[in-house]
């Protein structure tokens, strides 16, 4: 369970104070998929950064597994991120000059996983995203969709509790985007991983259990959690 | 993150920027090259100097003179002393050693022999049917290394003598080998009027080669056994006050390690002793100064390359902002991010050190024969001697310096804000 309590984050000083997050509170149950929706500048990215411990808001609490990560020391937050969290970004951020194996191996190296263990997990993760035949290929030789699949493999390799995805399909066409979405939802549901997607794509948000809409740093609305068992067929809106 | 994994990642990112890595390490390689060569030149130079010293003097040997009075103001009257002395005009005089002095020195512990120094200038040396040549005659010392063209100096006794090859040629021997066993006549004249000349027939047992190493104070005259030289000396000085006095004496220590303490003991007795090292010390000092200058240039090159490393690593941090941001987002600790960049710098230092010292070794090994020929050093003399530890010290030293240079960029990388680094567009 992730509890966000009275989160407030401001930029600037005195007259120029800008409220990026204004008293934000909500709760996310374990294993749920959550979409954080909002226009650019609404504070949705700031919220994600705060929840992942990358940013330090001035007030509030973020309690994950009973621990307020805002109270932890930098070293402990790093360890938390290395073992319990992972990320997917809009621009992939895969290391072009490194092989797929080394790209996926990075989070495990950071988490001090031994070499043999690492090999097993990396290969499993690459196979899960259907890149099993690209283990030794350099990332720069992959297509955009393959790169994002590689990023997904990197995100799931350390079996995180929480997976943050920042516009994961923003740079992809709708077909490849769908592949990535299926991968993400499929993996997180089967492994009970909490998935937090920051997006302004309403279709993608629709597929999540909970939608949190943010406007001007405040929560505009939170949808009631859908029941996880009911799998509603999703239709794409014709654009 | 484990150090091994960080090291591997550091090596990989350098491999991805091959040209830049190579150029940066070449800069530090110039320093490594210079320092390795200057250390090799220092070692080789000292070795060469030691060869010179051992072929001109014996390290177990001390040269003893009486303590000379301060010559000071020659206008002041000086007290007369009964001891023998060579007087020059203007009140200058040189004190000499007497037999009693020799006996006194002989009693000091650790001394093998005390040999008075005889200085004989022969009237001439000749051989039947040959011209007469001027020469000096010195006592043969078996402890001084010499190269022989013929015969040997294993034992020189009685009326035996050793001839430089120039004399053997002048005296009509076509080959040095022909001279062995032949007799030459050394004629010495007395100092007192009417004492006449005396001929000393000497048997040649060895012919020395002109030694490249003997350039400093090489034996240029005839060397004869000390007995015969003593006889010549006493004949030439017969009747003068200095007949039984000597300009100095050579003291041979039993052990090389005792030389310094013997020197002190002799000095306490009121004499002036100098070791071979004292006499040859200037050579070592010269080599040290030269080596210091060379190392200084090398250090300057290293200093320049330090800025190169800082610059390269700074650019690398800027180029890889996203990568650093990602690693930090994935939970890599600040310390480990810093380590990554410091280790990259260490790799650059290692490469530079290895390339530089390796090239220095190759160049030095190739240059040694050429230097030997150009400077006409003796055979088997290498002016550049590479000791294995030098490579270790140079490479490790440069790695440490590189890590030092990498600290600032590494700190910048560690401080990087992942949110800023990962901001899209």
Residue A111's pLDDT is what? 93
* A123-138 per-position pLDDT tens digit: 999 999 999 999 999 9
Token output for B74 = 């020659």
Q: Is the pLDDT of residue A231 over 70?
A: no
Q: Is the pLDDT of residue A235 over 60?
A: no
Identify the DSSP state of B258: G
In chain B, domain spans? 3-54+282-421, 60-278
**Closest to B329 (Cβ–Cβ): which among A87, A90, A167?**
A87
Residue B92's pLDDT is what? 64
Residue A148's pLDDT is what? 92
Q: Which pairing describes strands B61-66 and B249-253: parallel, antiparallel, or unpaired? A: antiparallel
Residues B16, A97: C-beta atoms closer than 8 Å: yes
Residues of chain B short of pLDDT 70, as ranges, are 56-57, 69-76, 78, 86-93, 143-145, 211-220, 378, 424-425
**Closest to B332 (Cβ–Cβ): which among A83, A110, A167?**
A110
Which residues of chain A does B336 touch, with a Cβ-Cβ cutoff of 8 Å?
Answer: 110
DSSP B278-342: HHHHHHHHHHHHHHHHHHHHHHHHHHHHHHHHHHHHHHHHHHTHHHHHHHHHTT--HHHHHHHHH
Give the integer Cα–Cα distance in Å for B347 and B349.
5
Residues B418, A54: C-beta atoms closer than 8 Å: yes
Q: A201: burial class by Cβ within 10 Å (0-12, 13-18, 19+)?
A: middle
**Closest to A109 (Cβ–Cβ): which among B5, B326, B333?**
B5
Residue B366 in contact with partner chain A when CB distance is under 8 A: no
* B80 vs A34 pLDDT, higher one: A34
Residues B327, A110: C-beta atoms closer than 8 Å: yes
Min Cα separation A16/chain B (Å): 20
A interface with B, Cβ–Cβ < 8 A, is 49, 52, 54-55, 74-75, 78-83, 85-87, 89-91, 93, 95, 97-98, 102, 106-107, 109-112, 167
Assessment of whether the complete model's pTM goes beyond 0.95: no
Residue B16 in contact with partner chain A when CB distance is under 8 A: yes
B249: closest CA among B118, B121, B137?
A: B118
* A42-79 per-position pLDDT tens digit: 889 899 999 998 988 999 999 998 889 999 998 999 99
Report helix angle A144-156 to A100-110, nearest 10. 30
Residues A162-185 have a mean pLDDT of: 92
B195: closest CA among B246, B232, B245?
A: B232
Interface probe with B: pick from A98, A106, A160, most Cβ of B within 10 Å = A106
- As for the ipTM of the complex, it is 0.89
Number of Cβ within a 10 Å radius of residue B63: 18
Question: What CA–CA distances, in Å, run from B98 to B115, B138, B191, B236, B261?
Answer: 12, 19, 19, 17, 23
User: Are B252 and B61 in contact, with CB atoms under 8 Å apart?
Assistant: yes
Which residue of A lies nearest to B334 if distances are taken between CA atoms? A75
Residue B74's pLDDT is what? 62
Min Cα separation A227/chain B (Å): 31
Residues B331, A102: C-beta atoms closer than 8 Å: no
Which residue of B lies nearest to A94 if distances are taken between CA atoms? B323
User: Are A37 and A214 in contact, with CB atoms under 8 Å apart?
Assistant: yes
Interface probe with B: pick from A11, A54, A90, A156, most Cβ of B within 10 Å = A54
DSSP B382-419: -S----HHHHHHHHHHHHHHHHHHHHHHHHHHHH--HH
**Closest to A106 (Cβ–Cβ): which among B327, B333, B419?**
B327
Q: Is the pLDDT of residue A239 over 60?
A: no
Number of Cβ within a 10 Å radius of residue A197: 27
CATH 3.40.50.300 fits domain A2-222: yes
A48-52: which pairs have CB atoms within 8 A and are 24 or more residues apart? Answer: A48/A164, A48/A166, A48/A196, A48/A198, A49/B419, A50/A7, A50/A9, A50/A21, A51/A2, A51/A4, A51/A162, A51/A164, A51/A196, A52/A81, A52/A85, A52/A87, A52/A162, A52/A164, A52/B329
């Amino acid at each position: 369970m992730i509890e966000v309590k009275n989160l407030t984050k401001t930029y600037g000083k005195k007259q120029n104070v800008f409220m990026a997050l204004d008293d934000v509170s909500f709760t996310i149950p374990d294993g749920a998929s959550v979409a954080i929706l909002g226009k650019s500048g609404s504070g949705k990215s700031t919220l994600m950064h705060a929840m992942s411990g990358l940013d330090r808001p001035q007030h509030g609490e973020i309690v994950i597994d009973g621990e307020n990560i805002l109270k932890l020391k930098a070293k402990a937050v790093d360890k938390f991120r290395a073992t319990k969290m992972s990320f997917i970004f809009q621009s992939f951020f895969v290391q072009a000059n490194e092989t797929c194996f080394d790209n996926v191996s990075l989070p495990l190296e950071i988490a001090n996983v031994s070499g043999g263990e690492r090999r097993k997990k990396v290969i499993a993760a690459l196979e899960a995203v259907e890149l099993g035949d690209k283990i030794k290929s350099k990332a720069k030789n992959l297509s955009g969709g393959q790169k994002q699949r590689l990023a997904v493999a990197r995100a799931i390799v350390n079996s995180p509790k929480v997976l943050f995805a920042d516009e994961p399909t923003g740079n992809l066409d709708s077909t490849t985007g769908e592949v990535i979405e299926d991968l993400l939802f499929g993996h997180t549901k089967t492994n009970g991983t909490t998935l937090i997607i920051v997006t302004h794509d309403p279709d993608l948000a629709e597929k999540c259990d909970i939608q949190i809409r943010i406007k001007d740093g405040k929560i505009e609305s939170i949808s009631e959690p859908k029941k996880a068992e009911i799998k509603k067929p999703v239709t794409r809106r014709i654009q | 993150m484990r150090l091994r994994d960080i090291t591997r990642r550091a090596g990989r990112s350098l491999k991805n920027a091959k040209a830049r890595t190579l150029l940066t390490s070449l800069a530090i390689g110039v320093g490594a090259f210079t320092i390795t060569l200057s250390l090799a030149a220092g070692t080789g130079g000292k070795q060469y100097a030691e060869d010179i010293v051992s072929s001109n003097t014996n390290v177990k040997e001390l040269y003893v003179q009486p303590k000379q009075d301060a010559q000071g103001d020659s206008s002041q009257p000086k007290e007369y002393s009964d001891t023998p002395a060579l007087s020059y005009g203007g009140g200058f005089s040189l004190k000499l050693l007497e037999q009693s002095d020799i006996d006194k020195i002989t009693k000091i512990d650790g001394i093998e022999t005390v040999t008075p120094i005889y200085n004989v200038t022969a009237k001439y040396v000749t051989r039947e049917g040959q011209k007469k040549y001027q020469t000096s005659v010195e006592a043969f010392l078996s402890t001084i290394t010499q190269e022989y063209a013929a015969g040997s100096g294993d034992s020189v006794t009685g009326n035996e003598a050793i001839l430089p090859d120039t004399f053997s040629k002048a005296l009509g021997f076509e080959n040095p080998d022909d001279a062995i066993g032949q007799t030459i006549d050394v004629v010495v004249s007395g100092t007192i009027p009417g004492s006449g000349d005396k001929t000393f027939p000497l048997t040649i047992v060895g012919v020395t080669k002109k030694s490249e190493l003997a350039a400093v104070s090489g034996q240029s005259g005839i060397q004869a056994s000390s007995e015969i030289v003593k006889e010549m000396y006493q004949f030439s000085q017969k009747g003068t006050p200095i007949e039984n006095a000597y300009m100095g004496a050579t003291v041979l220590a039993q052990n090389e390690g005792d030389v310094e303490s013997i020197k002190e003991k002799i000095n306490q007795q009121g004499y002036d002793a100098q070791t071979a090292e004292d006499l040859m010390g200037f050579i070592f000092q010269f080599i040290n100064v030269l080596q210091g200058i060379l190392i200084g240039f090398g250090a300057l090159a290293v200093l320049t390359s330090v800025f190169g490393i800082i610059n390269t690593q700074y650019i690398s941090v800027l180029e890889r902002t996203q990568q650093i941001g990602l690693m930090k987002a994935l939970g890599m600790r600040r310390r480990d991010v810093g380590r990554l960049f410091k280790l990259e710098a260490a790799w650059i230092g290692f490469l530079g050190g290895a390339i530089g010292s390796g090239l220095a070794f190759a160049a030095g090994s190739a240059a040694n024969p050429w230097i030997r020929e150009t400077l006409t050093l003796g055979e088997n003399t290498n002016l550049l001697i590479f000791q294995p530890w030098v490579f270790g010290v140079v490479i490790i030293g440069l790695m440490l310096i590189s890590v030092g240079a990498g600290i600032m960029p590494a700190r910048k990388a560690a401080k990087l804000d992942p949110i800023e680094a990962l901001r899209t567009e």
